[in-house]
Copies of this chain bind each other. A is one copy, B any other.
Amino acid sequence: MEKLIDLAYILSSILFIFGIKMLGKAESARRGNLLSAVGMLIAMVATLLYKEVVDLKLIGIGLVVGTVIGGVWAQKVQMTGMPELVALFNGFGGLASVFVGWAEFEFGKQTDVVTEVAIYSAILIGGVTFTGSLIAYLKLAGKMSGRPTLFPAQKAINAVIFTALIVLGVIYVVQGASWALYGIIGLSLLLGVLGVLPIGGGDMPVIIAFLNSFSGLAGAAAGFVILNKVLIVAGCLVGTSGIILTIIMCKAMNRTFGNVLFGGFGAAGGPAGKAVEGEMKAVSVEDAYFVLEAAQSVVFVPGYGMAVAQAQHAVKELGSILEKNGADVRYAIHPVAGRMPGHMNVLLAEADVPYEQLCEMEPINASISQVDVVIVIGANDVVNPAAVDDPESPIYGMPIINVHEARTVFALKRGKGSGFSGLENALFFRENCRMIYGDAKETIVGLVAQFKG
């Protein structure tokens, strides 16, 4: 029987592996989800066969109650309410891990260090997951303000809690003291609340992904508590794939994870920072990909650099891919871009960019603040905000394409070279602008590759 159970566990692990892999591809995602559900069923049935598991009635009641609540809830929730529901479910998973760890402690069978560390981890991670998810739920559901809630000495308080958790952990593991355990439970719940409160509603999806990864790890920890393989495998899979997913989602928002966690902004969606003079922030092609992939509207602003790099064909291709990806794509041509009148027209016509997608300066400026991403391809002077906001500048008064008003700007250049006018360009120092260094064609080709890879 035991052997059978173990084989079943192997089978369900395999199903989880396939399930996660398939969830990552659009065409197989739904089947992947089904597969992993089957894996779950197998794991559950196998567990019920353990000879130590005797109280089937109680379990049965629990399963039925849980199924009904979860099923009904999931069925009747509105489409728009799904993300917060996922957060809530995730919190329940975390709490379940807390309970499992706590229960094992109460049974008091274990005394070895490893098990105690495992119990500690399960409770700590599970607890944070629970309350953290709860806050995320409340914020997303609009039952709590989505604005980052900042309170004084926030970092200090968190640090104190953190230290306390470590100290209590050591005490618990060494002495097995139950007061320490209760303390751990309480503090980890508190940490979850305090950790998520300062994060804005716009960043909640990332936080949920992160907490989800956490609840996976909590599960794995619980697995070590009861020495259960499938818990370890599945928990660990979720834990690590969740981390990767979290990072991917951060990139898609053009943020770093640290920024999300400790940034304390993101409430309204857009970054609120002041312009940091003196620093041009570079971004990798891969990171740019994630942002573009998520963009709803993209505007290309070609300049002389596109001509030099002969990047027009690649640009056209990227444009087509973005369109297929569902984005609205336009090409904004500044009248003096390039080195001769109509320079950009010649090149884009060669690359077969439809005339309909070419946009003059005025109409594009009217709607630029709604644009998710502007890709500036080797243009410089024609997007220099000094022309509108620096009366000292020799180009002050020249109309430019106001790309600095877009949500995100990627500026493709080889280096720090200036444009025809020889002026510095403040655009590149703006908070919403990221440089992608390198020959424009190489960069665009790289982006195309990202989309196809």
A345 to B351, CA, bound (A): 15
Question: Which of A28-36, A372-380, A445-453 interfaces with chain B?
Answer: A445-453
Interface size class of A (residues with CB under 8 A): 10 to 19
Within 8 Å of chain B (Cβ to Cβ): is A360? Answer: no
Within 8 Å of chain B (Cβ to Cβ): is A279? Answer: no
Within 8 Å of chain B (Cβ to Cβ): is A350? Answer: yes
Partner among B313, B449, B452, B453 whose Cβ is within 8 Å of the Cβ of A313? B313
A449: chain B residues within 8 A (beta carbon): 449, 452-453
**Residue of A314, A316, A352, A452 ringed by the most chain B CB atoms within 10 A:** A452
A452: chain B residues within 8 A (beta carbon): 445, 448-449, 452-453
Within 8 Å of chain B (Cβ to Cβ): is A424? Answer: no
A445: chain B residues within 8 A (beta carbon): 452
A448: chain B residues within 8 A (beta carbon): 452
Nearest CB on B from A342, distance (A): 18
State whether B453 touches A351 (Cβ < 8 A): no
Within 8 Å of chain B (Cβ to Cβ): is A104? Answer: no
State whether B453 touches A352 (Cβ < 8 A): no
Contact residues, A284-317 vs B (CB, 8 A)? 310, 313-314, 316-317
| Beta-carbon nearest neighbor of A452 in chain B | B449
Q: Number of copies of this chain in the oligomer?
A: 2
A317: chain B residues within 8 A (beta carbon): 313-314, 317
A64 to B449, CA, bound (A): 49
| Beta-carbon nearest neighbor of A446 in chain B | B452
A453: chain B residues within 8 A (beta carbon): 449, 452-453
Nearest CB on B from A109, distance (A): 22
A415 to B155, CA, bound (A): 65
| Beta-carbon nearest neighbor of A314 in chain B | B317
| Beta-carbon nearest neighbor of A310 in chain B | B352
Contact residues, A303-353 vs B (CB, 8 A)? 310, 313-314, 316-317, 350-352
| Beta-carbon nearest neighbor of A312 in chain B | B352
Nearest CB on B from A318, distance (A): 12
Contact residues, A101-153 vs B (CB, 8 A)? none
A316: chain B residues within 8 A (beta carbon): 313
A317 to B352, CA, bound (A): 14
A351: chain B residues within 8 A (beta carbon): 313
A449 to B318, CA, bound (A): 12
Nearest CB on B from A287, distance (A): 17
Nearest CB on B from A123, distance (A): 26
| Beta-carbon nearest neighbor of A316 in chain B | B313
Nearest CB on B from A387, distance (A): 33
A276 to B151, CA, bound (A): 79
What 1/0 flags go to A412-453 for Cβ under 8 Å of B?
000000000000000000000000000000000100110011
Nearest CB on B from A438, distance (A): 16
Name 13 A/B residue pairs within 8 A (Cβ), A-sorted: A313-B313, A313-B316, A313-B351, A313-B352, A314-B317, A350-B350, A350-B352, A445-B452, A448-B452, A449-B449, A449-B453, A452-B452, A453-B453
6 more A-B contacts (CB under 8 A) besides A313-B313, A448-B452, A452-B452?
A310-B352, A313-B316, A313-B351, A313-B352, A317-B317, A350-B350
Complex A-B, nearest 10 residue pairs according to Cβ-Cβ distance, in ascending order:
A449-B452, A453-B453, A313-B313, A452-B452, A452-B453, A350-B350, A313-B352, A313-B317, A313-B351, A313-B316
